[in-house]
A and B are shown apart, each in its own frame.
Chain A
Amino acid sequence: MIGPSRVAELDMPGAAIETTTSRPAQSYWNESWERLRHNPIGMAAGVLILIFGVVAILAPLFSAVLTHFQPQSVDLLATFKPPGGAHMLGTDELGRDTLTRLIWGGRVTLGVAFLTVGIALSAGTAVGMAAGYYGGWADDALMRFVDMVLAIPAIFLFILMSILIHPTPVTLALIIASVGWGNVARLVRGEVLSVKQRDFIMATRSIGARDVRVMIRHLLPNVLPVLIVAASLGVGQIILIEAALDFLGLGIQPPTASWGNMLTNAESYFYHSAWLVYFPGVMIFVTVLCSNIFGNAVRDAFDPRLKS
């Protein structure tokens, strides 16, 4: 059935044609980036978040050069100034500059959001990957724990934790992430279950790689697209949660500014100083919207099957 040895044919003429295709090797990441780059709305949303981020990081610079105010410097002679003049976006009931506080508040709000996403993603990935890769009782134990975490009414947990732990940006991020990682774990586990069925995982084990190497070098890059999408969409959700906690007085405590507690504070003065509500509200709205648009764009870019 099988003819005599044809070793000479190993240098097949047909194979040579294949090598003349001169298109440079395109990795999955390159191709995804290309797709993302050609989505103008998604890119605009991403760039806007990036700008907010840069401004937040450079907050001290901005208050020194642009606004000439500190976020907590009180000026009782200039309370409730409407936007314009020295106070570009007006002042609040203590004469604090709204623009300065918005910039510093963005630092806190975005910082908490990114930190939360980072913590939730790391913890969720570790748990989801271990559960999916090892399977069996480890999977059962870990995922039942995740089920339990997700069954706790989040808002009560947040209230309880905020009472027990003084909410600073870092503790607030930990509090929000303590619930958020559960969904990430589920997501990652599902993806790992599918990826680990493919032969390259067995092939990697068959060349003598340790489990940790298989997970980090071979599984992780294959679940990364899912994580990137989860992260981009997650930022928006977490800003909303954080704003809600601030609004309830359970989040960042005054006088430290965050978009959420600026909104809380402004509520009492809405009828005569509406700008105090508008500016932080608009910032939250725009940031969450951009995060969602950018997240969807990233998803489309990384999974071309979704885009018909």
Chain B
Amino acid sequence: MTEPLLEVKDLHTVFNTKEGVVKAVDGVSFELYPGETLGIVGESGCGKSVTALSIMRLQRPGKIVGGKVLFKGHDLVKNTEDEMREVRGKEIAMIFQDPMTSLNPVYRTGWQVAEPLRLHHGWDGKKSLASAVSMLTRVGIPSAAHRARDYPHQFSGGMRQRVMIAMGLTTTPAVLIADDPTTALDVTIQAQILDLLRHVNREFGTATMLITHNLGVVAGMCQRIIVMYAGKIVEAGPTTDVFAHPKHPYTWSLLRSIPRLDADRHEPLKPIEGLPPSLIDLPSGCAFHPRCAFRVDRCPRDVPQLQTVNDTQQAACWVTQAGTELKGA
């Protein structure tokens, strides 16, 4: 495979709170290759958004306490704030969860979409606006020249998310980080936005990091996925393999807890017992062991590392690393 575009190595991000130190990202490592779509999955509070924000160095008030973020071979963690601003919006763009609040209500949308161009290329209002309008057209905003004069409140949720995507793409960044871009939208609009992201990925060759808690979104979009639990990566691999035979009990349980069209319709869904652990006071050993159906003696004692378990997949689990298949009721 080619050189990775973005390489996250043993990243640690913490938040100092009154209750204690929250280890939001606890030793996360992964690569993003040019042109690919990588999915990062996990439930709320597992550290996936903080990972994304840490890459952009926007994790404030959190602190990056260890690790590297190599972008085109250069460590972003060591960048000054000025150098970082050159990366943000120019090399790495980000779109957010809630399109209803991610546009400034007091400015016309065209002005906002053009803002990265004014910031990074120093273009004047007219030139940047023209470019913004053509980008709005490309993300499927009809009569973009007129719509660019409208204010955000005159757009629907799906349209606003298109505007956000256009804003991210104006400077043709190498990486687009989409932080749960579809949660706030209804299902049909979700499908349209995902189509757009897929289209963008193909047309612009932008490597996309898609963060979501929705396994369905990942299945249709990503070549590779990473599953996070309690600030750590518990499983990584090609999407088809991970879905067909998960190698971490958490992924295994997740997949059994969502409805599938091809499943026996009389079989009840199986929720994961218990609650995600507090990131301040993690369980000993493997953080998932209190909820795990495959727990062995070693699990509460030692922390498993992410290791290769077969040709394509990696998992952080004592059970599958020993070669056991995950099966059961």
A binding-site residues for B, Cβ under 8 Å: 1-3, 5-7, 9-12, 15-16, 18-19, 25-29, 135-136, 198-200, 202-210, 218, 221-222
Q: List 29 A-B contacts (CB under 8 A).
A: A1-B261, A2-B217, A2-B221, A7-B196, A7-B198, A9-B192, A10-B139, A10-B196, A15-B140, A18-B156, A28-B105, A28-B106, A135-B61, A199-B102, A202-B102, A203-B94, A203-B96, A203-B102, A203-B164, A204-B115, A206-B89, A206-B93, A207-B89, A207-B119, A207-B167, A208-B85, A208-B119, A210-B85, A221-B104
Neighbour of A6 across the interface among B58, B141, B191, CB < 8 A = B191
Q: What 7 pairs across the A-B complex have the smallest Cβ distances?
A: A2-B220, A207-B89, A1-B216, A10-B140, A199-B102, A208-B88, A208-B89
List B contacts of A10 (CB < 8 A): 139-140, 192, 195-196, 199
- Please measure, in the bound complex, the distance between the C-alpha atom of A89 and the C-alpha atom of B215, giving whole angstroms: 82
Known: A5-B195, A203-B103, A206-B96. 16 other contacts (CB 8 A): A1-B216, A1-B217, A2-B194, A2-B217, A7-B198, A11-B140, A25-B149, A25-B150, A28-B105, A28-B151, A200-B103, A206-B56, A206-B88, A208-B90, A209-B85, A221-B104
Interface of A (DSSP majority class): helix
Neighbour of A208 across the interface among B102, B116, B140, B261, CB < 8 A = B116
- Binary flags per residue of B98-114, CB closer than 8 Å to A gives 1, else 0: 10011111111000000
Contact B101 A200 (CB under 8 A): yes
- Please measure, in the bound complex, the distance between the C-alpha atom of A200 and the C-alpha atom of B154, giving whole angstroms: 16
Contact B105 A199 (CB under 8 A): no
- Binary flags per residue of B118-160, CB closer than 8 Å to A gives 1, else 0: 0110000000000000000001111100110111001010010
Please report the total number of B residues contacting A with Cβ < 8 Å. 56
List A contacts of B220 (CB < 8 A): 1-3
B5 interface contact, C-beta 8 A: no
Contact B199 A26 (CB under 8 A): no
Nearest-neighbour CB distance to chain B for A125, whole angstroms, equals: 16
Contact A208 B192 (CB under 8 A): no
Contact A19 B146 (CB under 8 A): yes
Contact A2 B88 (CB under 8 A): no
- Please measure, in the bound complex, the distance between the C-alpha atom of A16 and the C-alpha atom of B147, giving whole angstroms: 11
B97 interface contact, C-beta 8 A: yes
Once A206-B58, A222-B106 are accepted as A-B contacts, the answer to whether A6 and B195 lie under 8 Å apart by CB is yes
B87 interface contact, C-beta 8 A: yes
Contact A198 B101 (CB under 8 A): yes
Neighbour of B97 across the interface among A12, A15, A199, CB < 8 A = A199
- Please measure, in the bound complex, the distance between the C-alpha atom of A253 and the C-alpha atom of B323, giving whole angstroms: 93
